[in-house]
Structure 1
Amino acid sequence: MKSRFLACAAALGLSIVPITSADAFLLGGIVYDPTNYAQNLLTAARTLEMINNQIKQLTNEAQMIANQAKELTNLPYSAKAAIASRLAQIDNLIKTANGIAYDVATVDAAFKMYFPEDYSAFSNAAMGAAAHQHWKETSRAFHDAMLIQAQVAETVRDDAATLDTLVQESQSAVGGLQAAQAGNQLIALQTKQSMQTAQMLAVQYRAEALERARQIQSEERARVRRERFLGDGSAYTPS
């Protein structure tokens, strides 16, 4: 009888398996357990949620790396060469200035030679030559001052274009590094303009100082000539 039953079951396509749940039942020869199915479905849902969370985390990390890359991106524009060139133009003018130079040692030596403190040993002709030399030095100094002022005026126009470019670069900066570099270049441009102003004032004050020294020397020479003209102060008495 047992053999017959098994043969019939095989012919009907049914499988005999142990049923572990009270709600389990046979469906097309397959044991279907609703409880086990629900648990498997819940596990699959949790696994899918965990995978989604991992994907979100990786996406956030990728975005963070991209932002860090932007923060470290160099500014594609540099005003360094232009700023250095304009300062060099002013410096070259000063180096090629006529007359008394601008370094301390040369100024000291030249001033002592051209502007003596005592004219008592000078002849009238020598004092005249000294006066002419003072006029030349003063004239050259004012000429140098005018050249420097003209050069500074020209660089101010160039600086305006550089400033406009730097502002545009800072506004379109994609990261902190670009913004910082643009800001540093703006500070460099401002510093360069301050240096130019200092150079221009130095040249101007030099010219004014030479003019004042010329006036003082002229007064001293006039005093010596007056004393020579008056002599010892005694009137001439014929014998």
Structure 2
Amino acid sequence: MMIRRSRAALLAASILAAPIALSPMLATPAAAQWIVYDPTNYVQNVLTAARELQQINNQIQQIENQTTSLINQARNLASMPYSLVSTITSQIQRTEQLINQSQRIAYSVSSIDQAFTQNYGAINLNLSQQQMIAQAQQRWQTSVAGLQDAMRMQATVVGNITTNRANVTTLGASSQSATGALQAAQVNNQLLVQISQQLSDLIALEAANGRARALIDADRTTNQNQGATQLSTFLTPGAGYQPGNVQMFHGN
């Protein structure tokens, strides 16, 4: 009986001690299985996520704005793929060549003064008749050369009209399709160069025409002065015509 009671007491003690020994092992799984829901914390987390998302959207919008700004800057800095300045400049050079190729009397103050001193100045009655005729022929040839120079300039200016029209058409189309401020400015600059070329043609043409008219007027004035001087000398008593023997037929 004592043995049985001892065994029963030992078994009972073991059963009572078992929960105490197993409690640390069972405590952890029991605590892990419980989920605590905190509404306030959840709302706070949602608001924080929303703010972060808004910040990301703002950053994306800033990047898009910066990209657009860079694209616009690139367009503003984009240069025209072609230039008509060389074509326009070559037209001006051809006009300058014609001016430099002016015949007999150049577009130079010293050349004009020298020519007028020699051929358009005061009439020298000590010259022989042949010398006076030679001077008159030189003046006439100079007038004809001036007319030829004027006509050559006219032909050049008229020939430039077709090229000018093509240039203006191209620049006008480029102005309509300019992608940025730089291209628009370059188109305007080339249009100004084109206008300058046309003005140069008009100035050169007017100068050539005026030169031709001036040479004709100078020749006419000099001839009139020479004729009047010779007539006055011829009619002056004692110093005019001196009679002499004239041989009309050979042997008589």
TM-score, structure 2 as length reference: 0.82
- Once the two structures are TM-superposed, the CA of residue 7 in structure 1 deviates from its matched residue by 4.3
How many residue pairs get matched?
A: 223
1:205 pairs, out of 196, 204, 210, with: 210
- Once the two structures are TM-superposed, the CA of residue 232 in structure 1 deviates from its matched residue by 1.9
Structure 2 matches for 1:1-239, cutoff 5 A? 3-10=21-28, 13-15=29-31, 28-232=33-237
In structure 2, the CA distance between the partners of 1:214 and 1:235, relative to structure 1 (3 Å rule), is closer
C-alpha distance in 1 between matches for 2:163 and 2:197: 12
Deviates most, 79-88 or 227-236: 227-236
Q: Provide structure 1 residue ranges, at least 5 long, that are not aligned to the other structure.
A: 17-27
- Once the two structures are TM-superposed, the CA of residue 120 in structure 1 deviates from its matched residue by 2.8
Residue type at the aligned position of 1:218:
N
Question: Does structure 1 retain, via aligned residues, the 8 Å contact 2:78–2:182?
Answer: yes
Question: Does structure 1 retain, via aligned residues, the 8 Å contact 2:234–2:240?
Answer: no
Secondary structure, aligned partner of 1:32: coil
- Once the two structures are TM-superposed, the CA of residue 50 in structure 1 deviates from its matched residue by 0.5
C-alpha distance in 1 between matches for 2:196 and 2:178: 22
- Once the two structures are TM-superposed, the CA of residue 168 in structure 1 deviates from its matched residue by 1.1
Q: Provide structure 2 residue ranges, at least 5 long, that are not aligned to the other structure.
A: 1-18, 242-252
Secondary structure, aligned partner of 1:30: coil
> Which protein has the bigger helix share?
2
**Cα-to-partner distance string for 1:38-68 (whole Å, 9 max, x where unaligned):** 1111101100101110110111011101111
Secondary structure, aligned partner of 1:14: helix
In structure 2, the CA distance between the partners of 1:219 and 1:144, relative to structure 1 (3 Å rule), is same
- Once the two structures are TM-superposed, the CA of residue 3 in structure 1 deviates from its matched residue by 4.8
C-alpha distance in 2 between matches for 1:232 and 1:123: 20
- Once the two structures are TM-superposed, the CA of residue 113 in structure 1 deviates from its matched residue by 1.4
Secondary structure, aligned partner of 1:66: helix
In structure 2, the CA distance between the partners of 1:188 and 1:138, relative to structure 1 (3 Å rule), is same
Question: Does structure 2 retain, via aligned residues, the 8 Å contact 1:77–1:169?
Answer: no
C-alpha distance in 1 between matches for 2:235 and 2:203: 48
In structure 2, the CA distance between the partners of 1:125 and 1:154, relative to structure 1 (3 Å rule), is same
Secondary structure, aligned partner of 2:36: strand
C-alpha distance in 2 between matches for 1:153 and 1:194: 13
Q: Which structure's CA Rg is the greater one? A: 2
Deviates most, 119-128 or 87-96: 119-128
TM-score, structure 1 as length reference: 0.87
**Cα-to-partner distance string for 1:90-141 (whole Å, 9 max, x where unaligned):** 1111212211111222222122112122333333222211111111000000
C-alpha distance in 2 between matches for 1:234 and 1:69: 90
Residue type at the aligned position of 1:142:
L
C-alpha distance in 2 between matches for 1:234 and 1:118: 17
- Percent of residue pairs identical: 36
